[in-house]
Amino acid sequence: MPRFFMAGANAVGGTLILAGEDANHAKVLRLRVGDRIVICDGAQTDHHCTVQRITPEEVVAEVVESVPCRAEPNLHAVILAGLPKQGERSDFIVQKCTEGGASEIVFFLSHRCVSVPTDAAMERKLQRWQRIAEEAAKQSGRGLIPEVRALGSLAEALDRAVKTDLPLFFYETGERRELRQVLEGHAGPLRSAAILTGPEGGFEPWEAELARLAGLPLCSMGPRILRCETAPLAALTALMYATGNL
């Protein structure tokens, strides 16, 4: 069933109105009067609708029922990834982590980041990543579109991570704990978590020490070294499984 995202501001009584790009997309899909669609309000509520009217400017749909989005996890997962050098790797992280259930996707600059975009270039990247997140959210039936942001330093990323119930720093060498042990040792409810991974080449030892001093456990993904675009998705999948969201 075709899926659209739209803020509830356009709701009028029992109808919702698609306009602009959404209306154009509906026409590309060749929707007809009587077809069923889902319009998500972006706040985890799905409105199951029937198309009532199609004009050159808009598509009017009648709300049949409104239900909580079943595909949305109960864990607020924040992905904090060192900015990769290659653009297709960052695109992959956004797309697959959106499908995997991430609520926020944040790229940051660390010591081994090769790519340091200008402000204008970063703004263009953010716009593209947000479009990728929206399309992935539609495809995977998400109840919200993850916010994609950028931070200028590892310190800022650590500051965002420690605001969650369980911040996790993934490091490829040295003394680390298994992710399973960290999850089993967590006390209290787990409503939010942060997954912090590095760019190509990983983290410098001093960066790992900075994370440890900030209170983040240094975690291992096992004996294999994962690519920078694979690590966030692997960790997210493990976290979703451990919290009953997979």
pLDDT in tens, 30-69: 899 999 999 888 888 888 999 999 998 889 999 988 888 8
Q: Are residues 153 and 82 in the same domain?
A: yes
126-163 pLDDT, tens per residue?
999 999 999 999 999 998 999 999 999 999 999 999 99
Domain region containing 191: 76-242
For the chain, how big is the Rg over CA atoms in Å? 20
Q: Which contacts of 120-125 are long-range, i.e. CB under 8 A and separated by 24 or more positions? A: 122/150, 125/87, 125/90, 125/150
Domain boundary among 26, 47, 68: 68
Instruction: Choose between 157 and 12: higher pLDDT.
Output: 157
Asked whether 198 and 82 are in contact (CB, 8 A), the reply is: yes
Domain boundary among 68, 98, 125: 68
Q: Are residues 125 and 93 in the same domain?
A: yes
Q: Are residues 166 and 227 in the same domain?
A: yes
The H helix count followed by the E strand count for the chain is 7, 12
The tokens for 231 are 């690590």
Q: State the Cα angle at 53 between 50 and 59, rounded to 5°.
A: 80
Q: Are residues 49 and 89 in the same domain?
A: no
Q: How many domains does the chain have?
A: 2
What Å distances lie between residue 108 and 15, 132, 135, 179, 194, CA to CA? 41, 18, 23, 22, 14
Q: Is the pLDDT of residue 10 over 60?
A: no
- What is the mean pLDDT of the segment spanning 90-94? 98
- What is the mean pLDDT of the segment spanning 105-112? 96
Domain boundary among 68, 97, 112: 68
Q: Are residues 82 and 61 in the same domain?
A: no
176-224 pLDDT, tens per residue?
899 889 988 887 889 999 999 999 989 999 999 999 999 999 999 888 8
CATH number at residue 145: 3.40.1280.10
Q: Are residues 19 and 95 in the same domain?
A: no
Q: Are residues 132 and 194 in the same domain?
A: yes
